[in-house]
Structure 1
Amino acid sequence: MKRKIQKLGSSTLAVTLPAEWAREQDLQKGDELVVQRDESSGSLLVVPDTPAETEATATIDAASLDSESVQRAILAQYVLGRQLIEVESDGPIQPAVFDAITEIERQLMGLGVVEEGIDTVAIRCSVDPGDFELPTLMDRLWRTEATMRSEAVESLLEADDDLAERAIDRQRQVEKLFYLFLRLVFTTYRNPRLNESVGLETGFPLIGYRSVAQDVVLMAGAARELAEVVIDTDDFALDEETREHLTAAATALDDVATATRNAVTTPTATATTAGREALATLEACADRAQEHLETARPEPILALQRVLLTLRRSAGHAEDSLDVATHFAFRSAHAVETKDF
């Protein structure tokens, strides 16, 4: 929608607020708004100083949804920051729906059933944005993915099914941290006053951080696929030369992940350059490994090809995060200056 700028007094410019939005937010004359400026684009975010409390509760109609859809609906409302989620039906809730609620309760941090009846279930989330800082939560997400990837690579090199299973089981923790991260991102975006409580100076890096967190989850998915190669392949074993090539590629991927993490945490031109150099090293290692596979044709060749592609894909997700870090670096350091001549 468009709004025309009006002039109040000799130097003050003003715009009116959409009436429907003002009613939804229960805004009255004299209420305060928070206006936040994006340092890079100049756009403005306008939100109420105190967001409407009605957003804290959501109701899900279980009568019109199957058990999987109920799970997805609960997850969506959790991410959106709802404090109370009520699952209701016009008749008895089916056992499969109760089971789905129990399962999603275990998957999401701070979520718990507080009331259960024949036709209704009330679920409350005890997570408060002030309990976590996004940089700290991101660090936990990185460390969990790194542990999962390390276990997956070791299971590959040692042909250890038990270690592969352990890596796969760790993905649940990665997802739990990710959904909590999304919840805090959406909650903070709607209420910029929470920026300081979650460890940010402004709310505009939130979308970038969300993108980085998604890349970490995708890297965890790649680690899971590495572990699945070990489990799915009978008599999986590596000859010494193949082992050396894959070890070099996996080590290079570790360096890429570490450099990317450093660049996101401390976004500078130097840090992002180090990340690009680590990516180039990984690419060279992967190329040499690919050449070895094509020349020596070690067995199991198809499984090994899948491993190499998965390592490259994981590096691609890290590269996407590095792009975000590069954007952060340009914003914070003003690496590019423009002058009028």
Structure 2
Amino acid sequence: MPVYSRRIQKTGGSTLIVSLPQEWVKNVGLKPHDELYLMEEPGGGLILWPAALDQREVVEETTVRIPADAGPEDVLRLYLSAYIAGFNVIRLEFGETGYRHTKELKEMMRRWLVGVEIVSETLHGIVTQCLPTHDSLPPVKVIERMADLAASMQRDALFAIENNDEGLAQDIVQRDYDVDRFYHFAVRQLNIGISSPRRLATLGLKNPQECLSLIIAAKTIERAADHAASIANFLISERQNTTPPPELIKAGYEASSLFIEAKTALLEKSVSKARQAMRRIEAFELMLMDFTRRKGAKWETDTAVHALSQDIRRIAEYGSDLCEVALNLSALESVLK
């Protein structure tokens, strides 16, 4: 990325002017009387770009060549890397012999990704178009939806265990795919924001450092949802053999409440709410450890119940992680003021 140096000139009584680099002018197609946007950057810098760029769709393409022996999960991982990197046209090349798992791959893409449309498909490959970033669904809003989904999964999973509702448990496992889809979309948006200050502004963010903190928050919520799905799987796989102690179910509801407190602190970037939630989570973890000790060795050897208790503990811990992100975002916001 070239860096240009210019000296400020004075014209008229007090007007300061700077000439534009001819190479850049030619590359972007500027003409006399074209409009430019200028955006102040944290730290005193100034970013400018042609207004026409906001109306022009930038096509960023990549091609992923798929080995013939790759399974659909492997292909999805390769596709995800391009999707998250921010490419809006992704081509999958299968080679001369084609790819025998195309149907499974397309189903997995629909399940795991937001805004992917297959625009072309042949024996030798697939071309997909990815939804661009849009201010109606910015990363913070996506993360809020993820957190709400994860919290509802936690509560509903515990309710399903209490009421032996295997159908609800199955539904919770499916909801985990929705959280994953939002996670991949949020990280895609944030990576795009990091790559371009102009795009960063359209996402409602001010600094690339915000993107890094929000990526951590999104991953934390995605992991908390995984543990909610694991709680639901307790009913699906173990209900006929093991009944969890009522105290453990109660602890699960408390962990979910703490997670919601942490989500609120994150969205509000509230230092006081984050610190309060972190203190309560620390006390909860000590209580859960004491409860485990009182139940004795026999309960510890019940692997299903022990795994359930670990899921509950981890949900609370992920709440603490969200509080740390809230503190980081609050500190960053105070620096930028």
- Tell whether the structures are fold-level matches, with TM greater than 0.5: yes
Could you tell me how far apart the structure 2 residues matched to 1:83 and 1:176 are? 16
Could you tell me how far apart the structure 1 residues matched to 2:121 and 2:251 are? 52
Query: Are the structure 2 counterparts of residues 159 and 288 from structure 1 closer, same or farther at C-alpha, using a change threshold of 3 Å?
Result: farther
SS at match of 2:209: coil
The TM-score with structure 2 as length reference comes to 0.79
Runs of 4+ in 1 over 4 A off after TM superposition: 5-10, 26-30, 32-38, 42-55, 297-300
How far is 1:6 from its partner? 8.3
Q: How does 1:1-341 map to 2 (within 5 A)?
A: 56-63=60-67, 66-68=70-72, 69-236=74-241, 238=243, 242-243=245-246, 245-294=247-296, 297=298, 301-333=302-334
Query: Are the structure 2 counterparts of residues 82 and 7 from structure 1 closer, same or farther at C-alpha, using a change threshold of 3 Å?
Result: closer
Query: Are the structure 2 counterparts of residues 236 and 160 from structure 1 closer, same or farther at C-alpha, using a change threshold of 3 Å?
Result: farther
Query: Would you say the 8 A contact 2:271–2:326 is kept in 1?
Result: no
Could you tell me how far apart the structure 1 residues matched to 2:256 and 2:68 are? 47
Query: Are the structure 2 counterparts of residues 80 and 46 from structure 1 closer, same or farther at C-alpha, using a change threshold of 3 Å?
Result: farther
Could you tell me how far apart the structure 2 residues matched to 1:217 and 1:101 are? 22
Q: Structure 2 counterpart of 1:186, which letter?
A: N
Could you tell me how far apart the structure 2 residues matched to 1:162 and 1:233 are? 14
How far is 1:162 from its partner? 2.3
Identity of aligned residues (%): 16
Q: Structure 1 counterpart of 2:141, which letter?
A: T
* Worse-superposed segment, 208-217 or 60-69: 60-69
Q: Give the structure 1 partner of residue 13 of structure 2.
A: none
Query: Are the structure 2 counterparts of residues 135 and 54 from structure 1 closer, same or farther at C-alpha, using a change threshold of 3 Å?
Result: closer
How far is 1:166 from its partner? 1.6
How far is 1:7 from its partner? 9.6
The TM-score with structure 1 as length reference comes to 0.78
SS at match of 1:122: strand
Q: Structure 1 counterpart of 2:276, which letter?
A: A
- Which ranges in structure 1 are unaligned for 5 or more consecutive residues? 11-18, 335-341
Could you tell me how far apart the structure 2 residues matched to 1:108 and 1:265 are? 24
Cα distance per residue 1:6-57 (max 9 Å; x no partner): 89589xxxxxxxx9xx9xxx67999x8988756xxx6989897769987611
Query: Would you say the 8 A contact 1:58–1:82 is kept in 2?
Result: yes
How far is 1:134 from its partner? 1.8
Q: Structure 1 counterpart of 2:144, which letter?
A: D
Query: Would you say the 8 A contact 2:176–2:225 is kept in 1?
Result: yes
How far is 1:194 from its partner? 2.6
SS at match of 2:101: helix
The CA RMSD measured in Å over matched residues stands at 3.7
How far is 1:181 from its partner? 0.8
Query: Are the structure 2 counterparts of residues 281 and 316 from structure 1 closer, same or farther at C-alpha, using a change threshold of 3 Å?
Result: same
How far is 1:141 from its partner? 0.6
Query: Are the structure 2 counterparts of residues 44 and 271 from structure 1 closer, same or farther at C-alpha, using a change threshold of 3 Å?
Result: farther
Query: Are the structure 2 counterparts of residues 61 and 45 from structure 1 closer, same or farther at C-alpha, using a change threshold of 3 Å?
Result: farther
Could you tell me how far apart the structure 2 residues matched to 1:151 and 1:305 are? 20
Query: Are the structure 2 counterparts of residues 44 and 303 from structure 1 closer, same or farther at C-alpha, using a change threshold of 3 Å?
Result: farther
SS at match of 1:85: strand
Query: Would you say the 8 A contact 1:34–1:192 is kept in 2?
Result: no
